[in-house]
Structure 1
Amino acid sequence: MKIRFFFLLPLLISLVPTAPSLAAGDRFALVIGNAKYPDADAPLKEPINDARAVADELKRDGFSVELGENLTGDAMRRAFDKLYGKIKPGSVALVFFSGFGIQSARQSYLLPVDAQIWTESDVRRDGFSLETVLGELNTRGAGVKIALVDASRRNPFERRFRSFSAGLTPVIAPNGTLVMYSAALASVVSDAGGDRSLFVQELLKEIRVPDLMAEETLNRTKMGVTRASRGEQVPWISSSLAEDFSFIPGAGGSRPATPPPAPAPTPRPQIEAALPPPPPPVKPVDPVPAPSTDGGPSAAALADDPTIKSLTAKIAANPDDVNALYRRGQVYASKGAYSLAIKDFDDTLRINSKDVEALNNRCWTRTVVGDLQAALKDCNEALRLRPNFVDALDSRGLVNLKSGAVKNAIADFDAALKINPRLTSSLYGRGLAKQRNGSAQEGALDIANAKAMDPNIVQEFASYGVR
């Protein structure tokens, strides 16, 4: 699917009679900060502080606010249902979410802290579709629907799909909706490690400026984030508002004193001139010529792929952009360009030798191309850094299976299945290992169960050179 990036500037709204201003009681907000995901290496540092700061600001702006922290799936469902129940015709409904999000089937999903994500179908089962949330708010009669989503983080789930699925996807939202992501479509940013995210810092700064309509507030936020990050992080905005709306009721009314108003936004040509200039066109260069044993496509053959092209430009501008290197490695691996993927994982690990996800991905990729000794070393290091890392157990099981160490393979697949009994690759791999170890009947049962769960598993293993 071709990924397109849309960056919307403020809409020019014709002068038409506006609806009467909404009373404070007609503004409802649900603010969620999810930080403690068991699948992540450590709790995220920003979402809780960000959610509390946004909730406090919205209360000052006349919103009735519900604040949720580290919500499970059941708790998120109850929180959304409570918000839906408050909506009256013409209400303003705002959702702020900070945590992990992921795209699936062209929709963006917000993830609770207890999400069990192993396959892409699990995303749709455990996640909350932003489109569904906005649609329900519209059905309940909300006149203005606003979603502020700070979930464009490199998440711990995407590696499990053996494919590229980073970032969020465009929202097909009903009329009267304003949506903002903290980063561009299909892109991710790292948790900065501070008390607040750059996105929320700029958002709060602009919300406090009086006499701004909401679209202008968010566009100023976008410009602030873009400048502060030197073009590395560019938020995405989509608007279908049909009426004026301001975060500050009365626009300059009875609020406590605020900082001096920021300068009025400049016309579009000057705004664009103020942004950092885009990097010069870069002719992608094949970092490592694909060896004949690889058999996959070369860098030149993939140079026009829109995702690879974008990532290559980022790497050219900053060779130490670890997120871009890791993501391009994933894309290369998903397209069978294994030598190119290994090179990108090499560079990722040069920058951060303790990146267990990159170690696991390089282990798996090296296994596919038959570099089993190096692959085993990678998986062992990943498991040393994160014991019981299920993905590395699964990958090491494949290493042992290909190398003929079937007893070790069975032990690794057993350990992975204790953590996730639905991990089809471990179940199928264990079946093959059991058959090769002389337990034909037990192996056949594992294989049959795996094929029932995923009919494509046989073809997947064949692509790894395992039949």
Structure 2
Amino acid sequence: MRLLTTLAVSLACLAALAVFGHSAPVEAASSRVALLIANADYPDSDAELPTPKNDAAALAEALTRRGFAVEVVTNLTKDRFQSAIDGFMRRIEPGSTALIFYSGYAIQVARKNYLIPIDAKIWSEPNVLQESVGVDTLMAETAKRGASNRLLVLDASRRNPFERRYRSFSTGLAPAAAQPGSLVLYSAAAGSVVNETSAGRSLFATELVKQIALPGISAEEAFGATRDALSKASKGQQVPALVSTLEDPFSFDQNYVKPAALKQPSAAVEPEAPPLSTKPVTIESKAEPKSAEPVAKLDLPPDPGDPPLSPLAAAPSAAVEPKSKPLADANPTQPVQTAAKEPDAPLTSDATTLREFEDAKAIGSREAYQDFLNRHPDGSLATQARAEIAKLDTTTSPQSAQPPTYTPAESARKAALDERIKQNPRDEQAYYERGQFYAQRGETMPAIADFDQSIRMNPRNPEAYNNRCWMQAVAGALDRARADCDQALKLRPNYVDALDSRGFVNLKASRFREAVADYDAALRLDPVHSSSLYGRGIAKRRLGLTGPAEKDFAGALQLNAGIGDEFAGYGLR
């Protein structure tokens, strides 16, 4: 009789739990494991990142109080990175909760994110795959180990010293892959980058620690509150990205009471971003663009005075395949055509001429002034341009008159590359890396010379052509830059960075319709490419399309608040 009574009481308790939810802890402390990675001291970076170590320490304390078995590792080389991951995977038990926090540098390649060890040797896109740790692979491995709840927190939306070696602009992180049973939080929206703080702790980690300590809320709610608080504190400049596919509510609070009826999980917790406004707005929720939708292409009327569109830019789809029609400006001796015949935006006004002269002056090269003369051969500014060319022809260049100053780390890097080339003059990769070294420091002509050597030895490298295209454009050699971009796209038809670079070349050459077409093609492939959005905005504004231009500017600045200053540095406003 006592056994039956005990059984009846037990069944009654189970029934009560089914109706009113769990009153006991969701899981035992031993079933919660966390790996916190803080990579701060990169030899290729100018300075140590100030926040990763302190953020990891604060988060470790908060998670330990919540029953997690926490391991903190700092400044991981590639070998130590893999060792830390292997050890963490062995600690994951079936049905457990696994949390990974990473603060440091990361790069996206082909819409996938990669975490960068401090000793990574990255000079091109293939190097990223060889030297880094894939986020998708990491999350898939936690699933294979049987973790029921897989949490990932990435604080890596930073400008980094590696990406600028083979790309024109930092592209931020790719959107998070919605793997079942996962909860992912980025410190910023996909495609955006955050300016580094001088404080010892990041606002992102500070707010996250605060939310983890709150009782009675789910992890999804804690991450969502972190996102909302950071968005409000930064006035919409930093809006974390949140994606959840958890099948059952999880809470950092071990005494959390689950609701009786569960709703179906949503692949994207955050609300869709509202349409971008031409006025500054304060964003209270996620502003990440939807990558699944193509960016609408600007439908501009044809103009008989325009040069024909490049075959690659004219393609109607993302597969930008060359056609047989020759380029009208393929002849390097042919003067660059201007947009003076644009019916919707005459570009022969004094204001436009002055702006283009100021652009040439900002670049300061002979090629930039000659390009201005090709478009404006008459007038007082043409006389000034000829005088500047004469001055450049008779004086020593500033670069040779004042040797560049390097930090000790930069001097050591350059000495190592010089030695590699001395030991093996056929080391194509060494020339490529030294060209990137010069390019990062604004040493245009040495960079072009090294890319020349790299291309002579390996004429099938699209990244070398793209980088030389960019440096030629900075130097004002726009015809040669255009030819390099065309070759990069011939070798790799869907090369987003080369489309962006060629848009930049067309922008500087005042071929605004072609610039729009190139930027359209880049944005179809990567809708959150901030430099393509901003460059397209400049091209549209020069065409007199003020409303669409302001919309592009607003979108680009939401993704990258410093993008306008970067373009201004190249003489484009």
TM-score, normalisation: structure 1: 0.60
Q: State the partner residue of 1:384.
A: 405
CA distance, structure 2, for counterparts of residue 126 and residue 375 of structure 1: 42
Matched, 1:107 2:112: yes
Shift of 1:163: 3.2
Q: State the partner residue of 1:245.
A: 250
Structure 2 residue matching 1:95: 3-state secondary structure:
strand
CA distance, structure 2, for counterparts of residue 375 and residue 204 of structure 1: 57
Distance 1:387 1:276, change over 3 A: farther
Shift of 1:86: 1.4
Distance 1:108 1:132, change over 3 A: same
Q: Runs of 5+ in structure 2 lacking a partner?
A: 1-18, 258-269, 281-306, 314-354, 373-387, 437-449, 473-479, 485-573
1:59 pairs with one of 45, 55, 64: 64
CA distance, structure 1, for counterparts of residue 401 and residue 112 of structure 2: 36
Matched, 1:29 2:50: no
Structural RMSD (CA) = 4.8
Q: How does 1:216-227 map to 2 (within 5 A)?
A: 216-227=221-232
- Once the two structures are superposed, residues 25-62 of structure 1 have per-residue CA deviations (whole angstroms, 9 ceiling, x without a partner) of 00110001111011111101101100111111111111
Matched, 1:207 2:212: yes
Distance 1:22 1:368, change over 3 A: farther
CA distance, structure 2, for counterparts of residue 34 and residue 138 of structure 1: 25
The residue type paired with residue 33 of structure 1 is A
Distance 1:378 1:111, change over 3 A: farther
- Once the two structures are superposed, residues 133-161 of structure 1 have per-residue CA deviations (whole angstroms, 9 ceiling, x without a partner) of 00010011110000000011111111111
Matched, 1:425 2:446: no
Q: How does 1:245-264 map to 2 (within 5 A)?
A: 245-251=250-256
Shift of 1:424: 4.6
Q: How does 1:404-443 map to 2 (within 5 A)?
A: 414=418, 417=421, 422-425=429-432
1:231 pairs with one of 233, 236, 239: 236
Contact 2:455 2:464 in 1 (8 A): no
Q: State the partner residue of 1:310.
A: none
Structure 2 residue matching 1:155: 3-state secondary structure:
coil
CA distance, structure 1, for counterparts of residue 419 and residue 74 of structure 2: 32
Matched, 1:48 2:75: no
Shift of 1:209: 0.9
- Once the two structures are superposed, residues 306-356 of structure 1 have per-residue CA deviations (whole angstroms, 9 ceiling, x without a partner) of xxxxxxxxxxxxxxxxxxxxxxxxxxxxxxxxx99x97xx7xxxxxxxxxx
Q: How does 1:36-435 map to 2 (within 5 A)?
A: 36-251=41-256, 280-281=278-279, 377=398, 383-384=404-405, 386=407, 389=410, 414=418, 417=421, 422-425=429-432
- Once the two structures are superposed, residues 272-320 of structure 1 have per-residue CA deviations (whole angstroms, 9 ceiling, x without a partner) of 9xx99976448xxxxxxxxxxxx999xxx9xxxxxxxxxxxxxxxxxxx
Contact 1:29 1:65 in 2 (8 A): yes
CA distance, structure 2, for counterparts of residue 59 and residue 204 of structure 1: 11
Distance 1:156 1:22, change over 3 A: same
Distance 1:386 1:92, change over 3 A: same
Distance 1:388 1:56, change over 3 A: closer
Shift of 1:178: 0.3
Contact 2:42 2:48 in 1 (8 A): yes
Matched, 1:450 2:457: yes
Distance 1:219 1:376, change over 3 A: farther
Contact 1:417 1:426 in 2 (8 A): no
Structure 1 residue matching 2:457: 3-state secondary structure:
helix
CA distance, structure 2, for counterparts of residue 83 and residue 98 of structure 1: 17
Distance 1:212 1:169, change over 3 A: same
Distance 1:462 1:214, change over 3 A: closer
Q: Runs of 5+ in structure 1 lacking a partner?
A: 1-14, 253-270, 283-294, 302-338, 347-358, 394-410, 430-442
Shift of 1:448: 8.1
Distance 1:242 1:16, change over 3 A: farther
Contact 1:103 1:165 in 2 (8 A): no
- Once the two structures are superposed, residues 419-451 of structure 1 have per-residue CA deviations (whole angstroms, 9 ceiling, x without a partner) of 99724536899xxxxxxxxxxxxx9x9668831
Query: Which structure is larger by alpha-carbon Rg, 1 or 2?
Result: 2
Structure 1 residue matching 2:458: 3-state secondary structure:
helix
Contact 1:131 1:173 in 2 (8 A): no
CA distance, structure 2, for counterparts of residue 251 and residue 368 of structure 1: 71
Distance 1:173 1:135, change over 3 A: farther
Structure 2 residue matching 1:66: 3-state secondary structure:
strand
Distance 1:426 1:73, change over 3 A: closer
CA distance, structure 2, for counterparts of residue 164 and residue 174 of structure 1: 29
Structure 1 residue matching 2:99: 3-state secondary structure:
strand
Contact 1:213 1:247 in 2 (8 A): yes
Number of residues of Structure 1 aligned to a counterpart in Structure 2? 332
Distance 1:55 1:379, change over 3 A: farther
Larger RCO of the pair (alpha carbons < 8 Å, separation 6+): 2
- Once the two structures are superposed, residues 188-247 of structure 1 have per-residue CA deviations (whole angstroms, 9 ceiling, x without a partner) of 111211010010011011111100000100000001111111111000001000101001
